[in-house]
Structure 1
Amino acid sequence: MRRTALFAAAAALVAGALAWPADAAPSAPGTFVHPGVTVSAAQLDFARSKVGSGAQPWKGAFDRMMESEYADLNRTPRPRAVVECGSYSNPNHGCTDEREDAIAAYTQALAWYVTRDERHARKAIELMDAWSAVIKDHTNSNAPLQTGWAGSSWPKAAEIIKYTYNGNWAGSGRFATMLRTVYLPEIINGSNSNGNWELSMTEAAVGISVFLEDKASYDKAMARFRTRTAAYVYLDSDGDLPKTVPSQHLDTRDKIVKYWQGQSTFVGGLSQETCRDFTHTGYGLSAISHVAETSRIQGQDLYGTDVGERLRHGLGLHAKYQLGAAVPGWLCGGSLKLGLGPVSEVGHNALANRLGHAMTNTETLTLRGRPAGSNNLFVAWETLTHGDNPA
């Protein structure tokens, strides 16, 4: 009996370690939709109409965005040829400058779309052109993550400007070359670090692939996304142990528990980084929502698959404790490091508003955080773009 139980446990472990999501990864569309990275033209039109009418929460979200440093028309780009980022951005040689200039380009693009003030479009172009003229490489230990963070914002800005602004963007080809030669090679093959790394990198790879209309890279990034998402958020249906990424060789229970920050009890919605802190977990959940949203815009809706279920349960569990629920002793030793960040709008809108799932804790947290701002890394202004947006 004991040997049978051990055999069954071993078999389950191997199955979990090697399992890929049951649903095939989405393939690139026959024709890419533009603008189509995280936010669509219809979503932009909805937000613009609400701001124009003074409706809340969109008007308040727009005002918060316009009051930020990222919307400043006097902003001076700070490009450099080599961005060097060590662990926790130490050293920080251009890391903050790059991320924030990328967010600023996206902010200016949104400001252009809502106001039709061409100064904002030209400022977005100025920021994108400044970096595409200079940057050659990312170095040091955080290079892949840094590339993912900045690379998530650049294509969102570029998509809006290229496909909605009728002015001349003479440097768009050079910008595309920058994404293809400086950013994509650093992120397309993923990472075996904590899951938020690969999810952020994959978000950037998917967005860049849309802008470049690179179907091969899109397919590769999406396949990696499905595998990593399944390994990042646990569902009860996964079995006794979380799924894993095959290349990480997490082939024993002890290895898996260690990778999950020492957590040995698994419940639906738990993240691989829950017991590390909620901030990094929020990065991962945000990236999942952004890729799912881009995929939906491109014609393949992942919210009805395991991706949506993992996102729904992940947001719900972390929102519960972020709102102040007592932490049980079995969860991270009874102590959590909170700080989820402004990451719930996209997932809540898709799963609660579009699909009708009850998400009480996520909704409470989302409403409490409105209007959502920026995490100054790769998340920005999602109450404006996705709050209760039916498009």
Structure 2
Amino acid sequence: MKSSTLYCLTLSACFASVCLAQTEGVKKPAYLDTNYTGPAAPGEPLPALELPANQAFVHPGILHTQAELDQIRKHLAAGEEPWTSALKALQASEYTALDYQPKITPVINPHDKTVGYLMKDATAAYGHALLWSLTGNKAHADKAIQILDAAGSKLQAIEIGRQDQGKVTAGFTGGKYASAAELLAHYRQPDGSSAGWPQESAEKFRQMLVAVFYPRLQGFKPEFNGNWDASMMATMMAISVFCNRHDMFNEALAYYLNGKGNGSLTHYIHPHGQNQESGRDQIHGQMGLAALAACSEIAKNQGIDLYSAAGNRLATGYEYMAKYLAGQDVKVLGEVPISPKGRGEFRPGYELIYQHYVVEKGLDLPYVRETIQKHRPEGVDLIILPSWGTLTSYFGQPATAPSSSTSKP
């Protein structure tokens, strides 16, 4: 989101979840409300999965592994596209400027500007951590450490707020914080050097994530729109990896597969691809899908396959969304029409889907392919965890170099 005004408007819409009430005795269709909570897909029981307690976490292992980041560096060193242009876009972001200053406050009120500070700080920390990982510029590591240390030492609480809006505040921000911390703590430069984050500071940040974020994520929010559940699951998974918490990881994993809420996989996405928020708008639908994609990638990096769950349901959901955004007609179930609101607005997350299903698995997703080609390089969103995906998630063939073996390790 490129302006504070747009950001605040979108955030306000994300938080609300109540159907439209009667106004002056005239009842309007509920789906005409911008905060409409649409019906969930029927759902189906999926095989339970868990990360065994004796299986150590892979580090770094949230959205990026050591091998993946090292491979991206090789593409960049060779001046190959689309990575080179995507790196320039990351470097040009307002959140990766070296004069960025954290604005974190001790208590976050999900109804005022402090939530904006939280989202921007989390996004900036993640962006700087990525730049340090991919360029070796220690100034970016130092800046990311400054931002995380500010949160680790100052952040005491996220207020629950009206309608439990503090829960989704935690879901929208904690994943980027944890992703930044994971890179600073575990990525190693080609010469073996680390970011230099003091262990004491890292432990303080870890304790803050568990004490401040995790309580807000627990229980999720099953009665609200599914992007809430999905965002909270992704953040819980991200935090669990950094904190080495098997119980937390498996809690999110179980909910993704068989949770009762709108954000679990087969409640959020119908077998033909329509999602629970299709009748609401396409911005929130993309938010929910991107969070589920983040869950799948985090699980994959820990050796668990969520991408193939329910017959590649996530791929079906993304192809349906991409087809509608491309201006095509799509199948709609029930009496609620698909909403045209947000049809022309793109949100990050597609590169993860393209890489896994198309590049690695060979699935034919023509509309996902069209979408990533149209919107490269994929940028950042203050709410969505997967960001700068062209730079960090694509491992297909270079556009300007001889063909070679560049598949994702």
TM-score w.r.t. the length of structure 1 is 0.82
Q: Within the alignment, does 1:70 sit opposite 2:70 as a pair?
A: no
Contact 2:278–2:339 (8 Å) recurs in 1: no
Q: Within the alignment, does 1:270 sit opposite 2:274 as a pair?
A: yes
Amino acid at match of 1:111: L
Distance 2:185 2:331 in 1: 50
2:244 is aligned to 213
Deviation at 1:335, TM superposition (A): 4.6
Q: Which runs of 5+ in 2 are unaligned?
A: 1-40, 188-193, 259-263, 397-407
Q: Deviations over 1:257-290 (max 9, x none)?
A: xxxxxxxxxxx00100011111111111101111
User: The residue matched to 2:108 in structure 1 has which SS?
Assistant: strand
Percent pairwise identity: 29
**Residues 354 and 327 (structure 1), Cα distance of their counterparts in 2 relative to 1, 3 Å cut:** closer
1:309 is aligned to 312
Deviation at 1:82, TM superposition (A): 1.0
Distance 1:211 1:127 in 2: 17
Which of the residues 252, 269, 282 maps onto 1:233? 269
Amino acid at match of 1:167: G
Q: Which runs of 5+ in 1 are unaligned?
A: 1-15, 86-90, 236-267
- Greater Cα offset, 123-132 or 161-170: 161-170
1:383 is aligned to 390
Amino acid at match of 1:214: R
Amino acid at match of 1:333: P
Q: Map 1:1-391; keep pairs closer than 5 Å.
A: 21-28=45-52, 30-85=55-110, 91-139=111-159, 140-141=161-162, 142-164=165-187, 165-169=194-198, 170-192=200-222, 193-227=224-258, 228-235=264-271, 268-306=272-310, 309-326=312-329, 332-333=336-337, 335-337=339-341, 338=343, 339-379=345-385, 380-388=387-395, 390-391=408-409
**Residues 25 and 126 (structure 1), Cα distance of their counterparts in 2 relative to 1, 3 Å cut:** same
Deviation at 1:298, TM superposition (A): 0.4
User: The residue matched to 1:94 in structure 2 has which SS?
Assistant: helix
Deviation at 1:168, TM superposition (A): 3.8
Distance 1:136 1:43 in 2: 34
Distance 2:265 2:218 in 1: 16
**Residues 302 and 132 (structure 1), Cα distance of their counterparts in 2 relative to 1, 3 Å cut:** same
Contact 2:289–2:318 (8 Å) recurs in 1: yes
User: The residue matched to 2:154 in structure 1 has which SS?
Assistant: coil
Distance 2:180 2:113 in 1: 23
Amino acid at match of 2:184: I
Contact 2:280–2:338 (8 Å) recurs in 1: no
**Residues 353 and 26 (structure 1), Cα distance of their counterparts in 2 relative to 1, 3 Å cut:** farther
Q: What is the root-mean-square deviation of aligned Cα atoms in Å? A: 1.8
Contact 1:318–1:340 (8 Å) recurs in 2: no
Deviation at 1:50, TM superposition (A): 1.1
1:9 is aligned to none
Amino acid at match of 1:384: L
Distance 2:209 2:332 in 1: 46
Contact 1:148–1:200 (8 Å) recurs in 2: yes
Distance 1:168 1:84 in 2: 29
Q: Provide the aligned length of Structure 1 versus Structure 2.
A: 337
Contact 1:152–1:378 (8 Å) recurs in 2: no
User: The residue matched to 2:377 in structure 1 has which SS?
Assistant: coil
Contact 2:278–2:338 (8 Å) recurs in 1: no
Distance 2:207 2:284 in 1: 30
User: The residue matched to 1:300 in structure 2 has which SS?
Assistant: coil
User: The residue matched to 1:372 in structure 2 has which SS?
Assistant: coil
Q: Deviations over 1:97-121 (max 9, x none)?
A: 1111111111101100111111111
Q: Which of the pair is proportionally richer in helix? A: 1
Contact 1:205–1:217 (8 Å) recurs in 2: yes
Deviation at 1:327, TM superposition (A): 6.0
Distance 1:146 1:47 in 2: 31
